[in-house]
Structure 1
Amino acid sequence: MSIAAALVDEIRLVERAPGIDDYRRLRAATGLSPKSEQAARRGLAKTSYGVSLLRRDEVVGMGRIVGDDGCFYFVVDIAVIPELQGRGLGKRIMDALDAWLRANAAPSAHVSLFADGEAKRLYAKYGFAQSDHSVGMFYRV
């Protein structure tokens, strides 16, 4: 077994969002926009479902679902530390989030996400597609 494969094999997925410090560290390490400690504390408390990837006791990946737990869900914070990217760990995160949505969301629920760069190829495997009638929009406070 290669060293890279051994690294991936020792990573386990746990059903919980990361803590505030790990959340902020992972966002910074993966190029996601920084979040203040206060924002992270408030946001993480509103997680409908979250997962963390652990290598030993270190959080090396994460993903969350937020929303109103009825009509709308938003997939956010899909992140894997750079040295472990490209090894199927993002897929492990998405498999868990997708399974939770299929088991818990109403059939009429609207699930959305913003895809950065080539991540859109991964998300397409779960049925996400660009909308022909809607445009994703946002603003940062």
Structure 2
Amino acid sequence: MTLEWTESLDAIDWDELSALYKIALGDKPAAELAIVFANSRYCCFVRAHGRIVGVGRALADGIDTSYLCDIAVLPQYQGTGLGKQIVARLVALSQGHKKILLYAVPGKEPFYRRFGFRRMTTAMALFDNEPLARERGYLADEAS
């Protein structure tokens, strides 16, 4: 399988990327993807046969923190090592930052542990749709 890698936003079909996310990760509208990728320091797109089959990005400030996010691979390419390659590339691009963060889809934590990621005890978040975040397993129940 010949893969084409790019970090460029040029020639990205945002509707195609939105369709990939809908299948692999969840609904992400094309217009919003264009904005979040444009505002990301590092981007990684992988094509096979001209079609986007894997993607990831990192928000980073250049010194302190890089946050890996939106890593997705089409189901038929999962298990091929492509996800590992995307994460490895984003981690390599993020080298030099004091910390590299991500939050994983619940159940996928073992995948990221292979890269050295460890569970944080102090991470907290505000979600615009807290009930959905709780339903998807992103928020822990807190003791009162």
Interval containing the TM-score (normalised by the shorter chain): 0.7 to 0.9
SS state of the match for residue 47, structure 1? coil
The equivalences for 1:86-125 within 5 A come to: 86-102=79-95, 105-106=96-97, 109-125=98-114
The equivalences for 1:16-55 within 5 A come to: 16=8, 18-32=12-26, 34-55=27-48
Q: What do you get for the CA RMSD once the two structures are aligned?
A: 2.0
> For residues 43-87 of structure 1, what are the alpha-carbon distances to aligned partners after superposition, in whole Å with 9 as ceiling and x for unaligned?
111121111111021111101111333322210111110111111
Q: Greater relative contact order: 1 or 2 (C-alpha under 8 angstroms, separation 6 or more)?
A: 1
Q: Which of the two has greater helix per residue?
A: 1
Length, aligned pairs only: 127
Q: Give structure 2 stretches of 5+ with no counterpart.
A: 130-144
> For residues 65-115 of structure 1, what are the alpha-carbon distances to aligned partners after superposition, in whole Å with 9 as ceiling and x for unaligned?
11333322210111110111111110111111111112xx33xx3321111
| TM-score (normalised: structure 1) | 0.78
Q: 1:10 to 1:25 in 2, by over 3 A?
A: same
Give the CA deviation at 1:19: 4.1
Contact map agreement 1:16 1:49 (CA 8 A) in 2: no
1:64 matches 2:53: no
The one-letter amino acid paired with 1:27 is: Y
| TM-score (normalised: structure 2) | 0.76
Once residues 23 and 124 of structure 1 are traced to their aligned partners in structure 2, the CA distance between those partners, rounded to angstroms, is 27
- Tell me which residue corresponds to 1:128: 117
Identical counterparts, % of pairs: 24
